[in-house]
Amino acid sequence: MAKGVRMAKTSAKPPNFRIRTKASKAYADRARRWIPGGVTANVKYFDPYPIAMKTAKGSRLWDLDGNEYVDYCLSFGPLILGHGHPRVMKAIRDSLLSAGTTMFGTPHELEAAYAEYLLRIFRPDGKLRFTVSGTEATIHAVRIARAYRKRPMIAKFQGHYHGGIDEFLVSHAPSEEEAAKLVPASGSLGTPEHVLKDTLVLPFNDLPAVESRIRAHAERLSCVIVEPVERSFIEPDPEFLKGLREITTEHDIPLIFDEVMSGFRTGLGGAQHTYRVTPDLTCLGKVIGGGLPCGAFLGREDILDLADPSADRFFHSSTFAGYPTAMAAGLATLEELRRDGVMAKLLATSRHTMLEIEKRIREAQVMAKVLGCGSVFSILFTEAPIRNYRDTLGANQESRRKLDFALLERGVFVKPEKPFYLSTAHDVEAVAHTFAAFDEILPTLV
């Protein structure tokens, strides 16, 4: 543990959020003067102010006040080996030293090597292009599907997130009324009307409704994009993804699996391996950069080859795509993850953590449930069955917020109201600390 750093002990009365995070408050006040909300991405904000971090190692984070946390946010998923894994840090150092520069702006050997590595996992007969983020991967997957189909409309699922652009923000968090009607709801000020007109909204895990809506719009649709595991913690019904595959194949509409989150969190090879459904296109991000910015879209050769510059039919470009250090960090991460037993242990720890929290919730008679898949889970304060976004609207958000702040006060870092992510660095001590925090908090939530 770093010198002078305080481990948050679980005690009956931990210092309240505002008392223990005074330096974060001072930072937030300063940062707000230059950066809207004091954050560089809306997702990093929460009321009254987000906690600002200073150092990290393994499963732990330390904030500006020196408080220590077990990290269940992991930068919203990418850090599957935890912070500063030695193998990843070495790969980054070696990559910079051997190249003698940060980037070439030309093809380099690691690009094809890493593309082949990822394709072997996801689509041995396919092709791949790298991007710099998950958002760019989904943007270009949809664009290339449009190029293939020559039609304007996209179909996306209610409550699914594919990145912060107008088109993907449509109905990613609609109101109860909008959700019930399945109308395309703007997710951001500034969304042009034509974006709403060209977006078909679908309900996850409701195959009859999905089939009839796709059939009704098949002639205008360029693609269907889906998070195969909704928000990475709501699993698809056994026949849902298969049915989605069949109806899209029937109309030759490219099916895009956005596996930016589920790619290595559902398990190796993502949801498509787990549920045995092969999409036409797959989007990757987060874990594949090993903690550095990287994304990719891959899939059917006949679609990806539209981007071949010799034919000059589909334009895809990006100054930083294929960033050498990100490829090196990503490759090191995946090689470590694929080492014997590593992923199995992560999945076992994740399962154990979910089951233990669920058991404690039951024993404390709190009206909540744990939903999860692979190494991601969330806690929803409801007893109703949850099969899609609309079902989640009935959960009590205030109770979840109370839980999250009580966890923060006890050294368990979760972004309020967001899922929990685990890493291979979450050891026995880290999860025991988490269970002790839940033991204290749950009786106060009844």
Ligand X SMILES: Cc1ncc(COP(=O)(O)O)c(C=O)c1O
Q: Determine the interface stretch with ligand X among 67-75, 128-136, 306-314, 357-365 (rule: CB under 6 A).
A: 128-136
Q: Is residue 284 a contact residue for ligand X (CB under 6 A)?
A: no
| CB nearer to ligand X: pick between 84 and 164 | 164
Residue 170 or 441: the one with the smaller Cβ distance to ligand X is 170
Residue with tokens 């913690």: 233
Using CB under 6 A, which of 38, 126, 134, 263 touches ligand X?
Answer: 134
**Residue in 27, 72, 161, 421 annotated catalytic:** 161
Q: Is 261 in the site for ligand X (CB under 6 A)?
A: yes
Beta bridge partners of 207: none
The closest alpha carbon to 439, from 407, 398, 402, belongs to: 407
Cα→Cα distances 206→211, 241, 392, 433, Å? 9, 10, 15, 39
Buried/exposed code over 339-366 (b: 16+ C-beta within 10 A; e: otherwise): eeebbeebbebbeebbebbbebbeebeb
Q: Catalytic: which of 71, 127, 280, 286?
A: 286
Is 392 among the residues that bind ligand X (CB under 6 A)?
no
**Beta carbon of residue 259, minimum distance to ligand X (angstroms, whole number):** 8
Name the minimum Å distance from CB 288 to ligand X.
10
User: Given the rule CB under 6 A, which of 211-219, 239-247, 255-263, 378-386 is the region that contacts ligand X?
Assistant: 255-263
Please, what is the minimum distance in Å from the beta carbon of residue 136 to ligand X? Answer: 7
Cα–Cα distance between 55 and 2 in angstroms, integer?
9
From candidates 69, 117, 130, 161, binder to ligand X by CB under 6 A:
161
Active site residue 302: no
Please give the residues from 30 up to 49 whose contact with ligand X meets the rule CB under 6 A.
none
135 touches ligand X (CB under 6 A) = yes
Question: Residue with structure tokens 């205008």?
Answer: 220
Site string for ligand X, 220-239 (x = CB under 6 A): -------x------------
Q: Is 76 in the site for ligand X (CB under 6 A)?
A: yes
Cβ(46)–Cβ(408) below 8 Å:
no
CB within 8 Å of 5: residues ≥ 6 apart: 62, 66, 68
258 forms part of the interface with ligand X (CB under 6 A): yes
Contacts of 117 (CB under 8 A, 6+ apart): 331, 334
**In the complex, residue closest to ligand X by CB:** 134
- What span, in angstroms and rounded, lies between the C-alpha atoms of 54 and 72? 16
Nearer to ligand X, 63 or 136 (CB): 136
Active-site residue, from 65, 71, 198, 258: 258
DSSP 379: E
Please report whether residue 285 would count as binding ligand X according to CB under 6 A. Answer: yes
Q: Does the annotation mark 27 as catalytic?
A: no
286 is catalytic: yes
Chain centroid to CA 154: 21
Which CB sits closer to ligand X, 261 or 303? 261
Q: If binding is defined by CB under 6 A, does position 162 make contact with ligand X?
A: yes
Considering the rule CB under 6 A, would residue 146 count as an interface residue with ligand X?
no
Q: Which two tokens stand for residue 65?
A: 């006040």
Cis previous bond, 48, omega within 30? yes
Phi, psi of 425 (to 5 degrees): -85, -5
**Beta partners for 381?**
none
Rounded Cα gap, residues 212 and 113, in angstroms: 42
Catalytic sites, residue numbers: 161, 258, 286
Q: Interface with ligand X by CB under 6 A: which residues?
A: 76, 133-135, 138, 161-163, 227, 258, 260-261, 285
